[in-house]
Chain A
Amino acid sequence: MNNTKNTEIERLNFWEKLYIPEIVKGLGLTFKEMFKPKFTRQYPEERWEPEGSYRGRPVLVLEEEGERCVACGLCSRVCPALAIEVQAAETIKEKERFPVKFEINMLRCIYCGFCEEVCPEEAIVMSKDYDLVFQNHEDAIMDKEKLLIPVSELQDRLEFIRQYK
């Protein structure tokens, strides 16, 4: 029943017990570390460009003839944070419906990407915007004007969805 034996001490040899050579080794390691390249990114000047797999702010895809959205309301239904509000109306165009009102409350959005996954038209996708700053609550509620982004800027994400969804 002798479990008070300090096995760690017994494992070390004489020079390791002296501390000093081991400390010198450690100091050498940290000294080398000082001259290695740094990992820090100078954020506001040096921005990070995310890959297509990044889930940033959800946006609506805008094509030449107008938005893709047909106002089916699936995104609003699936949203776990109840952040999306859609109001549909009729149009004379081929797809017959469009959203009169489409609002995403960015204070509620949790960037889960369910809206994008459920969308049958690939009309709502996650963009690469990651630094969202609001001065008041009204600014945080994004209306159609702020949500519609030209399709050319969203190619990375659309390709990613087609490949993996």
Chain B
Amino acid sequence: MSEIVIILIEASIKALVIVLIMQLMAAVNVYMERKVSAFIQGRIGPNRVGPWGTFQPFADVFKLFMKEDVVPKSADKFFHSLAPIISMGIAFSIWAVIPFSSYIEIDGRKFYMGMAPNLNIGVLYILAMTSVGVYGITLAGWSSNSKYSLLGGLRSSAQMISYELAMGLSLIAIIMMTGSFTLNDIVSHQQAWGGWRWNIFVQPIAFLIFLTASFAETNRAPFDLPEAEPELVGGFNTEYSGMKFGMFFLAEYANLTTAAVLISLIFLGGWSIPFDATNLGIMEGSIWLALIHFAVFAIKVLFIIFFFIWIRWSIPRFRYDQLMNLGWKFLLPLSLLNAVITAFYVMFLQ
């Protein structure tokens, strides 16, 4: 077989698997969110559809498919349908550079777990894509021709722009220490110290800033102002129904997964395990090692998702001026300071 055919087959299989994983993760997130919120509030949560209610998210999506798709009379029809497509497309395309596990070696050919985990601008690509993701929400708010949607859209764009700065600057500290934009390199850099050189221990301030900013970037509580129900009806998705609403819903949960994956890749050591796998007779590049790495990674990601949900049901929403104060007056100077100190350390002490 020629090289190009192998690459094409490899890429299409990976793309299919990633899209399926994303859909499945959205379902898992919805289920976890409902169960955890129920447990925190002294309820049981969904337990009727399937064993322990595990089919509930599928029933929800099925219901959304069956719903009538209402478009407001005065809405801009084209952009009204384009907005959810942008939201979901961007949420999925971020996953092009995300690795899930270490590589598998078959016949001397290395198969990396992920579409393009060795892309040399990986982190920049992710930051760029999350910025484009704002367009989906802003367009949804504007094209609905409703005051609540517009306010929600404006809030989300202001919020995302404010927090993107702090997010990028906190990542700069990590990138300076690693010396690479590639996510695979960032993960392998954390495998020092017997698998415990996690960036959360080396850069705790950057971790806190990134965590806070990713709450704001994913529009989740305590920064869920774009869809603040008591103030804005439904925020940017007020005028959406049926599967268009479902697509925003899916994009939101895909973004949650992305944020969790990024945090565990960049700060929690990705799939690094605290012992040398070759001692157990598992070779570097074998399927078994890749599976173990994937399991470790999945546990970390699920824990972070749980943490996000836990935060959502514990902390009340910020007021808008508090949100802006925190972003511009606190997180931005702190991340700048952190970046400067890290730069000095990398330049003069390493």
Determine whether the beta carbon of A33 is less than 8 Å from that of B42: yes
A29 to B311, CA, bound (A): 11
Which of B41, B44, B314 makes the CB contact (< 8 A) with A27? B314
A23 at the interface (CB under 8 A from B): yes
Contact for B44 among A23, A26, A33, A40, CB less than 8 A: A40
Number of A positions contacting B (CB below 8 A): 16
Candidates B40, B208, B311, B315; contact of A34 at CB < 8 Å = B40
Contact code string B35-54 (vs A, CB < 8 Å = 1, else 0): 01001111110000000000
For residue B310, CB closer than 8 A to chain A, the reply is yes
User: Is the CB–CB distance between A36 and B42 below 8 Å?
Assistant: yes
> CB of A39 within 8 A of chain B?
yes
Residues of A within 8 A of B36 (CB): 34
1/0 contact string of A1-38 vs chain B (CB within 8 Å): 00000000000000000001001001101110111111
Is B55 in the interface zone, CB < 8 Å from A?
no
Contact size class for B? 10 to 19
- A39 touching B311, Cβ below 8 Å: no
- Which chain A residues border B315 with CB–CB below 8 Å? 23, 26
Does the CB pair B42–A30 fall under 8 Å? no
Closest to A41 in B: B44
- Given the complex, which residues of B lie within 8 Å of A35, measured CB to CB? 39
Check if A30 sits within 8 Å of B310, measured CB to CB: yes
Is there an interface contact between B314 and A29, defined as CB atoms closer than 8 Å? yes
Q: Which residues of B contact A37 (CB under 8 A)?
A: 42
CB contacts (< 8 Å) of B39 on chain A: these are: 33-35, 38
Give A41 Cβ to nearest chain B Cβ, in Å.
9
Which single member of A30, A39, A40 contacts B313 (CB below 8 Å)? A30
The residues in B between 12 and 70 inclusive whose CB is less than 8 angstroms from any CB of A are: 36, 39-44
CB-CB < 8 A to A29: which residues of B?
A: 314
Q: A23-B315, A26-B315 are in contact. Are A31 and B310 (CB under 8 A)?
A: yes
A26, B314: Cα distance in complex, Å? 6
> Can you name 14 A-B pairs with beta carbons within 8 Å?
A23-B314, A23-B315, A27-B311, A29-B314, A30-B310, A30-B313, A33-B40, A34-B36, A35-B39, A38-B39, A38-B43, A38-B44, A39-B42, A40-B43
Closest 5 CB pairs of A and B: A34-B39, A30-B314, A40-B44, A39-B42, A30-B40
Knowing that A26-B315, A38-B42 touch, tell me 7 more A-B residue pairs with CB under 8 angstroms.
A20-B208, A27-B310, A29-B314, A35-B39, A39-B43, A40-B42, A40-B43
A interface list, Cβ under 8 A from B: 20, 23, 26-27, 29-31, 33-40, 42
